[in-house]
Every structure is written in C-alpha cells, then in structure tokens.
Amino acid sequence: MIKSLSQYKEDYRKSVEDPAEFWSEYSKSFFWRKEPGNILSWNFEDPDVKWFFDGKLNITENIFERNKKNENDTAIIWEPNDPNEKNKELSYSQLFKQVCSFANVLKALGVKKGDRVIIYLPMIPEAAISMLACARIGAVHSVVFAGFSAKSLSDRINDCKAKVVVTSDGNYRGNKTIPVKDVVDEALKTSSSVKSVLTIKRTNSKIQMVEGRDYWYQDLIKSVKNYCAAEMMDSEDLLFILYTSGSTGKPKGVVHTCGGYMIYSQYSFENIFQYERGDTYWCTADVGWITGHSYIVYGPLLSGAKTIMFEGVPNYPTPSRFWDVIDKYDVNQFYTAPTAIRALQSYGDKYVDGYEFRSLKVIGSVGEPINEEAWKWYYEKVGMRKCPLVDTWWQTETGGIMISPIPNVIDCKPTYATLPLPGIQPILLDNDGNEIKENNREGNLCIKFPWPSILRTTYGDHKRCKETYFSTFKGYYFTGDGAKRDDNGMYRILGRVDDVINVSGHRIGTAEVEDAINQDVNVVESAVVGYPHEIKGQGIFAFVIINNLKSGYDYSSSIRLSVTKHIGPIAKPDNILIVPGLPKTRSGKIMRRILRKISSKEFDNFGDTSTLLNPEIIDLITSLYKDKINK
C-alpha cells in the first residue's frame, strides 16, 4: 500500500518505466492456478490488449480460498431499506457457501462457462452473491440497474443473448415497492434467448410464474450442495459485461476480463481507501453500475474487507439516513456521489449537525465533477475537516479509479481529481491531436498506455469499440472527457466533451433520449442537450417539434412517459420546450452548441452561425424559452 509521497513517486516512476514488471510484481500476491507467461501485449490500433496472458485463475478463489485464514471476518453487512427491518451480516465463510450454492443452482439451470446471465436485482446480498456465483463457474454476468425499463432490459438481454435472468419478486426503494418481476416478464416478450428466470423472494409481492421458465431461488437452493469447485479461467476470459450509453446508438456492452480486472480492482481499492483489516467500508452506489462492481463487490472482497450493501435511498425515512448508517456501523471509509451530497445539503444542515463521524478516516466522491460548494460542505460537515476527500475520476470502461488523491499521501484540492494512480498515463490533446504540454489549458483527456482493467471490447461489436475509444486520437484511448492540469500536474475533470449527459452521476446519451422521445406519435423531431442543474449536476433539456400542434394538450407528460417506457425514469427530460424548428446546418446537422447555450439561459454570443440554414430560428427558440421562464 502506498503510504508516502516518495513511495507514490517511486511506484509511479516504476509503473511507467517498466509497466509489465510493475504489475507482474503486484500480481504475485494473487492465487494463480497457472502463472501467466506473458504480462502484457497490446496495440491501440486494432485495439488488442492482453494482460497476464495464459495465466489461469478464478477471481472467487482469490476472494475466498486465498483469504481462508480470515474466513470468519465479516464480508458483507446488508442494511435494508427499512431501518426497522433486521440487517444481515455474512462472514467470508458464510458468503462462500452462499456463492457456491448459487453457483450450483445456476449449473442446475444449465448455465455453463461463457454463458451470459443477466442480473436485475435490488441491493440485496443476492446481487453480490449471484455475481460471484457466475464468476465461480465462468459464466459472464451482466448486471442491469433495476430502474431500467422493460425495453432497455430486453435490448441488453438480446445484445448478449443471455440464457438466464436473475430477479426478485419486488424491490423496496424508500416508501415504494417496485414490481421488477413484471418488468422482466414484459422484457421477455421480445427476448427469446432466455431459458430460465430465477426469482428471489424479497417483497412477497404477487407475481406471475411461468411454468417451465420461472423458478423461485428459495426452492432450488434446497436441493444443491454448498460447495462448488471453481472453473479455471484464462486471464483474458470474460468476467462481465456492463452496458453503458455513448453519444450514438444503443448502449454498448463494455467487456472486462478476469485477470487484469482482478488485479486493478484490488490495487485501486487498497490504495484509494487505505483499507486496514477491521475497518468498515461503505460505498452507497448500486451494483448496477461499475462503481458497485469494483468498489462494493470485487475490490473490497478481494482485499478481505468488510463492505456495506445498502438497499435504500439517502432520504428515507429521513435525510439523515446516510449519517445514521455511518454511526450505526462506525464506518471508516465512505464513498458516495456529488448528486447525493447536493441533495442532502439542500435539506438543510439540521439533518447532519450533531453527528460526530469519529470513525471516518476517508470520504470519497465519484460519478461527476463535484462543485466547490458541495466539496466544502462534504469536507466540513461529514469529513469534519479531518478526513481526506478523494475525488475519484474513472469510467465504466476503465474498470477502476484512474485519477484520485491517495489519502494522506497526495493533497486534496477542491474540484480536482489530482494525480493519476501508478500505471495510469494521462495526456491532454487539443482537437487536432497535438499534445498540450503547457499547464492550465483545457484539452481532451486521453490515456497513452494500457492499464490492467482497460475495457477489452464492446460485446459483439469490436469495431464499435475501436471507433468510440481508439479512433478520435490515433494511438490513444479517448475518455470523452475534457480536463486541465495545474502547475503541480494535478488534473481537474471538466465533464464530457461528447454528446453524453451526466445526470446524477448516470451517463445518458442524447441520441438515446431523442430516440425515445421520437417514439411518441406526436413528435416530429427532437434535440436533447444537458444543462446545469443544481442537484443533478446536469439536467436533460429537450427541444421538440410537434406534429399538428394543438393547444391545451399535455405533450410534456406524453413525452416523459415515452422516455420512461423506452429507457427508464432516470432519463426523463427535466425541461421540455416545444419549438417550430431546430437550428440546422446546410448538411442537416443540428447545431447543438446553440441549444446548449439557450438551455443554460445564455441568450447571446452564439458564435459563428454562418453555416446555419435557418439562423432566424435562434431568436424564435430564445423568445419561446424566455416566455416559458417568465410564466
């Protein structure tokens, strides 16, 4: 573990001078069935990256068998949605038995190495257990956030041709019960690859069970053994697929493989959270996102940590819930998102004042740029001005944290993710692909060299992986983010430079939202942009052209419904403006930068508009929006 600045510098230097040697050294503490013959081969042209090649391993053996001497340590503490319901604690040995049992249930359903399993679950221990069960038998899990619609779920099932879906009879979320099994039933009307649905009892809701397809997990587990031998995996065999939105087309399945992901999730977890045995660590994310994969499940469990899984939401039953949970378990490391911080801050200090947070040693932020005000509030009210605040920048595609302070080693600086971890080689490029060597200039954030948990492909479509990440700047991995570097080499992430919106830390492609809006029969065309939003970071603004506009009709509700149906409630536009036309260039492209300005209430200095076919539309849209604001 990195404990001093000089060690960080030394490790960083080694990791750049001889990356293979650096990671080979670190990989020695893992349990390999067969040591890798070749540490790294790569090119960013095809692209083709292989780490620890032809090494054999199973990531679950590195969680359980490798740490056997500590098998009585607590692995997972599960805190239910309702604080009055009993929580659960699972030791490593108990978790291991449950993972094995689950693995045997999957096997009984015919799941084999390489098969894809969709996990569509609330934050219950079975979410982690089912992921690990897949890994145990070499099946590829793809967790889908349980807030996504039937259509989104079906698209993901079809893209990876999943054989099994794991779900529950319902989800508790705050004071709501969400009928997720109904969503699965709906999705399966348009998905034919699925042979079985494994349903976990959680809410005792009344659901339909299809004979020969749907099974209760609680029934099947009765007839299986609680030991399952680990499947031997190659380093580059698939571990999981996780779908994420981009600027074009449908969400793509980001692929992570066994060896490199294992190495980097443990390495980054240990260093960023400085976890020590006995500590209690809590990341508030959902396992449906990469944060949950790397920093609730794999990173902490590989490190033998005690990790909290929280089923609920930050404001239920009160906006003190996070603080109550920190107090209840004496949490030492706390990791959450800026949107949650801003939302909790907006309820007023009375919900946080009075808590002392004596146990906290590190607090973290992830998912979007954290603004200075939220940073300071979090640092003062929760970190009590004594905990380092780690602003961690990374992505689904990077598998693990890339740029972040290391507590008590690298100084924190509000709104800065600061320095790259060893092994990570960032570079800023201008739009022509030239390196920006001077400091304090904005550029496109790219990475020069592979790290162990870089995505390997986008599932079923390698060309798309190449085009999205490796073609904009030849020879580099392009993150899609803009950044700048200060005189101390510290990075500040400025947000997306592509047509991706970051709403409450969730990545949403504008094209996807437009597609969903255009499904509404009243809509002729739409353009979606992000605009600054006080709580969510960015909100979704939709400019919509309606066919045969009638007064008095509630087009907005109908549009929002369409988005909820096609994607899910997280992608619902916050602001909808009905317009007679959109600013288009002669080649028919929508000039989004103009719409971005209008949506941010910047009504002048539109820059060069000489290529517009219909420049007069700018004034029209502007006055329509001004009217709406003044209403």
Given the rule CB under 6 A, which residues bind ligand WT7?
Answer: 244, 289-291, 366-369, 391-396, 417, 479-481, 493, 495-496, 502, 505, 507
CA distance readout (Å), 86 to 82, 218, 308, 595: 9, 19, 14, 50
Contact by Cβ (8 Å): 422, 19 = no
End-to-end CA distance of the chain: 58
Compare residues 495 and 581 and give the one whose CB is closer to ligand WT7.
495
Element of type H or E holding 598: helix 592-599
Q: Detail the DSSP E strand segments found in 316-371.
A: 333-336, 362-366
Residue 170 or 388 with smaller CB distance to ligand WT7: 388
Q: Which residue has 């080649």 as its token pair?
A: 587
- CA-based nearest residue to 40, from 57, 19, 58: 19
β-sheet bridge partners, residue 495? 482
Smallest separation, CB 109 to ligand WT7 (Å): 31
Q: Under the phi-then-psi rule, with left for phi > 0, alpha for psi from -120 to 50, and beta for the rest, what region is 489?
A: left
Q: Which is nearer to ligand WT7, 280 or 396 (CB)?
A: 396
How far apart CA 385 and CA 380 sit, in angstroms, is 5
Structure tokens at 26: 């670190």
Q: What order of strands is seen across the sheet that includes strand 443-447?
A: 426-429, 443-447, 477-485, 491-496
Least Cα distance to 450 among 288, 263, 289 occurs for 263
Minimal CB distance to ligand WT7: which residue?
A: 396
Q: How far is the CB of 397 from ligand WT7 (least distance, A)?
A: 7
**In sequence order, what DSSP letters do the residues of 200-215 get, joined into one string?**
E-SS-------TTTEE
CB of 502 to ligand WT7, least distance (A): 5
Q: Rank residues 35 and 442 by Cβ distance to ligand WT7 and give the closer one.
A: 442
Instruction: Tell me 420's DSSP state.
Output: B
* CA distance linking residue 593 with residue 589, whole number of Å: 11
Instruction: Output the CA angle 149-167-192, nearest 5 degrees.
Output: 70
Beta-bridged to residue 78, according to DSSP, are 88, 309
- 191 or 392: whose CB is closer to ligand WT7? 392
Between 78 and 478, whose beta carbon lies closer to ligand WT7?
478
Closest residue by Cα to residue 150 from 536, 465, 567:
567
The identity of residue 501, as a single letter, is I
Give the separation between CA 523 and CA 304, rounded to whole angstroms. Answer: 53
Q: Of 179 and 495, which has the nearer Cβ to ligand WT7?
A: 495
CA dist 384 → 376, 377, 389 (Å): 10, 10, 11
- How far apart CA 326 and CA 83 sit, in angstroms, is 13
445: closest CA among 497, 399, 405? Answer: 497
Compare residues 132 and 493 and give the one whose CB is closer to ligand WT7: 493
**Cβ of residue 288: shortest distance to ligand WT7, in angstroms?**
11
Q: Which two tokens mark 234?
A: 């190659």
Tokens representing 418?
């600061």
Residue 475: CB minimum distance to ligand WT7, A: 20
> Beta strands 389-392 and 362-366: pairing type?
parallel
Please state the φ and ψ torsions of residue 465, each to the nearest 5 degrees.
Answer: -60, -45
- Alpha-carbon span 619 to 631, nearest angstrom: 18
Residue 407, amino acid: P
The answer to whether 129 and 99 have CB atoms below 8 angstroms apart is yes
